[in-house]
């Protein structure tokens, strides 16, 4: 039999309490308990505000504050008894507080769980974005270390997974750093959108009581760069809005795509076919059958986790689509996807940082691949351009040179000059000089290009940015 309704906080108008099945179905405390530090900070700020406007005495406020401190200590020590019958983190904490502090019965004055959870989550997002941003920065630093330790290593760059043009390994790594820098910027933007205080919005229509929203916002750190409080401007939107969830999950999903692409590069590079890198044993596994195998499982999981991160974004978009304003209980399902995005993105970042720290570069294999003269076919076309040949004709002529090399089984740079001249008379005696790899790179002087002067500039830039 369901318990008497007066056992639940909102039981006044109910004849019977929720069925055990309903409690199990509707509880969220199993996952929203991680909001406890934010919930408690929010409650302490709210109590301070209530005291300030005269709705709590100074004594009551102090008792509530101390009681919440004690509860937080218990939670941190793992001694707090969570009760699924109390639904969520908010009710669990409030009930525990009420048991020890009579004034706790006044804490929920001028507040609803709707603006309470909106506040908790905004505080959580600010925290989560900061933590994740730092972890991504650690990945960047580890990758920068790889580039710095192999400054002079050249590899082919690829398009369509076909050898295209030579680049410094550092240039490829810097491309990853750019992707990750954008991820960090996106997370910083999410934290900035989170920085608006919804407390005081009540269930959806504010309160008749004389609350001081600016005060609570200030106490909780919802302030701009000049310390001015930032308040949500519409009570209905404030409790219904879940944009931040989507923005955070989107930032996570895109970070996941980046991880996946980086992981895929490493998987390819560590294959016997490429052999550019060797992954650290500590992040690989063996085969139960084939003794020679060393499998890039960490990279494969980085690639696989990106699917999950994308799924979380999709879950949220679907969850909020078509919901009438304002709060609907559906919205309780908003937390598992963002918590999962945080947890998975965080461990992925840690794994990639660890893996990058143990990467071995096979310089000889890289050099052999980068020495493929075909990588400089485009440079050969540029050479003809400097001799006055229009690029389209130059491209065509070099194509014919490549075809000839292939047909005669001679490396591109070893073809006899007379043969090459037959294809286009603009080829001079110096034509094969184009295939000097270092010289070819040195010509790439523009911003963003892989020439050595630019690489040096980028090293300086990243060293400073990631100091």
Task: Output the smallest distance, CB 82 to ligand ARG, in A.
Answer: 13
Task: Output the smallest distance, CB 217 to ligand ARG, in A.
Answer: 20
Of 9 and 378, the one with the shorter C-beta distance to ligand ARG is: 9
Task: Output the smallest distance, CB 248 to ligand ARG, in A.
Answer: 16
* Per-residue x/- track, 287-326, ligand ARG (CB under 6 A): ----------------------------------------
Task: Output the smallest distance, CB 113 to ligand ARG, in A.
Answer: 4
* Per-residue x/- track, 112-141, ligand ARG (CB under 6 A): -xx--x------------------------
460: tokens are: 């300086």
Beta bridge partners, 158, equal 163
* Per-residue x/- track, 331-370, ligand ARG (CB under 6 A): xx--------------------------------------
Of 60 and 88, the one with the shorter C-beta distance to ligand ARG is: 88
Of 165 and 201, the one with the shorter C-beta distance to ligand ARG is: 201
Task: Output the smallest distance, CB 72 to ligand ARG, in A.
Answer: 19
Q: What angle do CA 76, 229, 338 make, to 5 degrees?
A: 45
Q: Determine the Cα–Cα distance for residues 296 and 281; give it in Å rounded to an integer.
A: 9
- Dihedral sign of CA atoms 89, 92, 97, 100 in order: negative
303: tokens are: 């690639």
Q: Determine the Cα–Cα distance for residues 189 and 89; give it in Å rounded to an integer.
A: 28
Query: Binder to ligand ARG among 17, 28, 45, 167 (CB under 6 A)?
Result: 28
327 binds ligand ARG per the rule CB under 6 A:
yes
> Cα dist. 367→250, 262, 425, 437, 445 in Å?
39, 21, 32, 10, 22
User: Could you list the active site residues?
Assistant: 160, 287
Of 71 and 179, the one with the shorter C-beta distance to ligand ARG is: 71
Concatenated DSSP letters for 107-118? TTTT--HHHHHH
Q: Determine the Cα–Cα distance for residues 272 and 282; give it in Å rounded to an integer.
A: 19
Binding segment for ligand ARG (CB under 6 A), chosen from 329-337, 357-365, 374-382, 436-444, is: 329-337
Site for ligand ARG in 54-113 (CB under 6 A): 88, 113
Among 211, 208, 204, 205, smallest CA distance to 56 is for 211
Q: Determine the Cα–Cα distance for residues 373 and 432; give it in Å rounded to an integer.
A: 10
Total residues interacting with ligand ARG, rule: CB under 6 A: 9
Of 83 and 264, the one with the shorter C-beta distance to ligand ARG is: 83
- Dihedral sign of CA atoms 85, 91, 96, 99 in order: negative
Beta bridge partners, 16, equal 4
Sequence length of the chain is 467
Residue 231 DSSP class: B
Task: Output the smallest distance, CB 334 to ligand ARG, in A.
Answer: 7
In the complex, which residues of this chain contact ligand ARG (CB under 6 A)?
A: 28, 88, 113-114, 117, 327, 329, 331-332
């Amino acid at each position: 039999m369901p318990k008497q309704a007066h056992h639940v906080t909102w039981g006044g108008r109910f004849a019977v309490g929720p069925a055990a099945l309903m409690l199990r179905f509707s509880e969220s405390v199993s996952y929203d308990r991680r909001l406890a530090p934010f919930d408690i900070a929010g409650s302490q700020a709210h109590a301070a505000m209530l005291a300030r406007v005269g709705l709590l005495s100074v004594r009551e406020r102090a008792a509530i504050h101390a009681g919440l401190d004690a509860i937080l200590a218990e939670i941190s020590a793992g001694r707090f008894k969570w009760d699924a019958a109390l639904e969520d983190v908010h009710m669990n904490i409030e009930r525990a507080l009420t048991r020890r502090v009579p004034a706790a019965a006044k804490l929920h004055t001028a507040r609803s769980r709707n603006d309470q959870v909106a506040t908790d989550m905004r505080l959580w997002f600010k925290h989560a974005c900061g933590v994740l941003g730092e972890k991504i920065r650690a990945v960047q630093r580890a990758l920068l270390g790889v580039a710095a330790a192999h400054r002079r290593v050249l590899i082919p760059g690829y398009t369509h997974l076909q050898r295209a043009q030579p680049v410094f390994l550092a240039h490829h790594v810097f491309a990853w750093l750019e992707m990750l820098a954008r991820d960090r910027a996106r997370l910083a933007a999410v934290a900035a959108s989170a920085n608006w205080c919804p407390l005081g919005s009540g269930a959806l229509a504010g309160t008749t009581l004389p609350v001081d929203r600016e005060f609570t916002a200030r106490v909780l750190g919802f302030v701009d760069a000049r310390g001015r409080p930032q308040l949500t401007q519409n009570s209905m939107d404030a409790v219904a809005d879940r944009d931040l969830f989507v923005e955070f999950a989107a930032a996570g999903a895109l970070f996941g795509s980046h991880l996946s692409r980086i992981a895929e590069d490493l998987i390819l590079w560590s294959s016997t076919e490429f052999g550019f890198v060797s992954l650290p044993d500590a992040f690989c596994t063996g085969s139960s059958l084939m003794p020679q195998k060393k499998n890039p499982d960490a990279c494969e999981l980085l690639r696989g986790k990106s699917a999950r991160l994308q799924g979380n974004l999709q879950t949220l978009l679907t969850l909020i689509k078509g919901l009438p304003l304002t709060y609907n209980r559906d919205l309780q399902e908003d937390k598992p996807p963002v918590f999962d995005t945080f947890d998975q993105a965080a461990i992925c970042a840690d794994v990639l940082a660890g893996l990058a720290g143990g990467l071995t570069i096979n310089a000889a294999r890289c050099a052999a691949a980068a020495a493929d003269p075909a990588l400089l076919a485009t440079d050969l076309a540029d050479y003809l351009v400097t001799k006055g040949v229009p690029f389209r004709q130059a491209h065509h002529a070099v194509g014919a040179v490549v075809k000839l090399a292939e047909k005669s089984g001679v490396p591109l740079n070893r073809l006899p000059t007379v043969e090459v001249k037959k294809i286009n008379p603009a080829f001079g005696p110096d034509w094969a000089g184009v295939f000097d790899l270092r010289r070819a790179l040195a010509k790439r002087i523009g911003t963003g290009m892989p020439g050595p002067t630019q690489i040096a500039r980028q090293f300086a830039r990243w060293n400073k940015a990631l100091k």
